[in-house]
Chain A
Amino acid sequence: MNFSNSDATVPSVRFEDVVKRYGSKPAIDGVSFTIGKGEIVGLLGRNGAGKSTVMNVMTGYLPTDCGKVCICGVDMAKHPEQAKRHIGYLPESPPLYDSMTVMEYLRFAAKIKRVPRAGIGTEVSRICDEVGLDEVRHRLARNLSKGYRQRLGVAQAMLGNPDILILDEPTAGLDPKQIVEIRSLIRDFGIDCTVLISSHILPEISEICERVLILRAGKLVGDGRLNETGSYSGEFAKLRIRVTGGEDVCLRILRGVKGLSSFRFLGTAEPCTADWHVEYRLRETGVRESLFEEIANAGEKLLMSKPIETSIEDMFLQMTADGVEK
């Protein structure tokens, strides 16, 4: 049976209705998503939301109670050893052996990741160089600073160029210079491979990631893209518009626009105008054209149309607030 899957259409990660319970309490409850090849995805949520559990289930460390996890098209439950070959994982606390030197540890990690024996030396040297472990390569892990321990954990995860890199708080404990270096390394890695990062540092997520998944109490409550400025666009586009005419006139116009999901009156900023907040689904096409035409047909004028961007912080607070469901 051939388990390697180079087909670009096969998602790197597929979660189908995954449930994982600790005792009777569900840690993740019916979570479904797919991550395509080459995506850099951030996993957000408050403490206890289920981020680490999602990662542990994805890496095969924990089995699911229900649902299916596929890694590069390979079912984790049926063929765990083949599925795990595609993954490099840095858990919340780097799994280091204190009595081993950096080189010994990386050689051991390369062997258990089945890096070809002949290429282990080269691979370990390459990763030491890339992650900045050169100067401590003969030092025992127990004598490393927190920053270097974290780097060693990242190096271990990146060994053997896995198809999917899963990083739980990758920059925890690093100094600002190291943070910049590791972020740059992750971005470089993400050019060819899929990366999933969990972090509490929201600017870090908005800097590195192009998509975010938001968990709340074990459920997926948000799945959206981040634009170049790092602001979040979920399913809906939001505009602030200013139209001549009164509130009632505008209300009639907006009721006639096809594809608008919602609209609400914001107030009057200039005499004889009305400001409105309008929302429409991103997948709907021609909504802005329809809006413009309806206003023109009613004999009024569109004075302003300004996209409203949701910062990742605002989005995080909205999505993870109590009572929010997808």
Chain B
Amino acid sequence: MIAVLGRECLEYFKTMLGYVFIATFLFLSGIFFVVGNIMPLDSDFNTTLNNCVYVFMMTSPLLTMRLLSEERKTKRDQLLLTSSLSLVSIVMGKFLSALCVFAVACTLSFVYPAILIIFGTPSIPLILNGYTGFFLIGASFIAVGIFASALTENQLAAAGGTYGFLLLFLTLDHMIARVKIGRFAEVLRWFSLFRRFTPYQFGSFSLSSTIYYMLFSALFVTFSVIAMDCRRRAS
């Protein structure tokens, strides 16, 4: 798994993909920072982080679209699947590599709260809590992206699939607001990907949301392993 993780991280930074993702993410989140914090002279960075969730939703396919689809298309999966690595190790290695690049982007984005800390008095624990939630929801997006990448050989289709899944989850949130059947709405609310981020945004650490995001990521990584195995058997 570590070998795959290392190779994929190297690939992100040997090609332009890693740089393009980080630059796009920092640029777009920078716009939200300027509009949300600098212009109104507001030190609440977590609202900006909430907007960054949507920025990452738009940019995450850059990280995940080629991870499994390209391997299959170029038949380089023959190297991985005929080595003694398990399917779980291969998928986990790729998932963690995307997570590493996301972590690099998150770390670089600390420059925005750092500016607030230099010129104002924001709550640092509040920001760190917000970042924890942001990282967890980001991991969930990456897991969805890698699942979409396991379903197809076409990178564009994988990117489109990721947007499709994430928009479906976003739509689910809007549906929940309109569903009036109490018990059903409660169940849907429990499954809501985006609403789970709200506690982090308002400064409380939510253990149930943390567990939810971890389970969500694990579930989609497992789906990716199953999808790869099914495709292998069906080929």
Residues of A within 8 A of B (CB): 22, 56, 59-63, 81-82, 84-85, 87, 89, 91, 93, 95-97, 99-100, 104, 108-109, 111-114, 156
Q: How far is the CA of A100 from the CA of B79 in the complex (A)?
A: 15
Given contacts A100-B10, A100-B14, whether A87 and B82 have CB atoms under 8 Å apart is yes
List of A residues within 8 angstroms of B4 by Cβ: 112
Q: How far is the CA of A62 from the CA of B2 in the complex (A)?
A: 24
Are B3 and A89 in touch, CB under 8 angstroms? no
Q: How far is the CA of A61 from the CA of B71 in the complex (A)?
A: 13
Q: How far is the CA of A85 from the CA of B85 in the complex (A)?
A: 9
**What 1/0 flags go to B77-115 for Cβ under 8 Å of A?**
111111111100000000000000000000000000000
- Identify 26 residue pairs between A and B in the complex whose beta-carbon atoms are under 8 Å apart, listed by A's number: A59-B78, A60-B82, A61-B78, A61-B82, A61-B232, A63-B232, A81-B86, A84-B84, A89-B78, A89-B82, A91-B78, A95-B74, A95-B75, A95-B76, A95-B78, A97-B76, A99-B10, A99-B14, A100-B10, A100-B14, A111-B3, A112-B3, A112-B4, A113-B83, A113-B84, A156-B79
B76 (CB) vs chain A CBs: closest residue: A95
- With an 8 Å Cβ cutoff, the count of chain B residues facing the other chain is 25
Residues of B within 8 A of A (CB): 2-4, 6-7, 10-11, 14-15, 74-86, 232-233, 235
B153 to chain A, nearest CB (A): 15
Given contacts A97-B7, A99-B11, A108-B7, whether A59 and B82 have CB atoms under 8 Å apart is yes
List of B residues within 8 angstroms of A81 by Cβ: 84-86
Contact pick for A61, options B3, B74, B81, CB 8 Å: B81
A110 to chain B, nearest CB (A): 9
Are B232 and A112 in touch, CB under 8 angstroms? no
Given contacts A95-B75, A97-B11, whether A63 and B233 have CB atoms under 8 Å apart is yes
List of A residues within 8 angstroms of B15 by Cβ: 99
Q: How far is the CA of A100 from the CA of B82 in the complex (A)?
A: 20
Q: How far is the CA of A87 from the CA of B84 in the complex (A)?
A: 9
Q: How far is the CA of A111 from the CA of B76 in the complex (A)?
A: 16
Are B76 and A96 in touch, CB under 8 angstroms? yes
9 A-B pairs with the lowest CB-CB distances in the bound complex, closest first: A111-B3, A95-B79, A112-B83, A59-B82, A95-B76, A99-B14, A91-B78, A85-B84, A84-B84
List of A residues within 8 angstroms of B79 by Cβ: 95, 109, 112, 156
List of A residues within 8 angstroms of B74 by Cβ: 95
List of A residues within 8 angstroms of B232 by Cβ: 61-63
Q: How far is the CA of A108 from the CA of B8 in the complex (A)?
A: 11
With A62-B235, A81-B84, A95-B75 already in contact, 13 other A-B pairs whose C-beta atoms are closer than 8 Å: A56-B78, A59-B82, A61-B78, A61-B232, A82-B84, A87-B82, A91-B78, A95-B74, A95-B76, A95-B79, A104-B10, A108-B6, A113-B84
List of B residues within 8 angstroms of A156 by Cβ: 79
A107 (CB) vs chain B CBs: closest residue: B3
Are A84 and B76 in touch, CB under 8 angstroms? no
Q: How far is the CA of A89 from the CA of B84 in the complex (A)?
A: 12
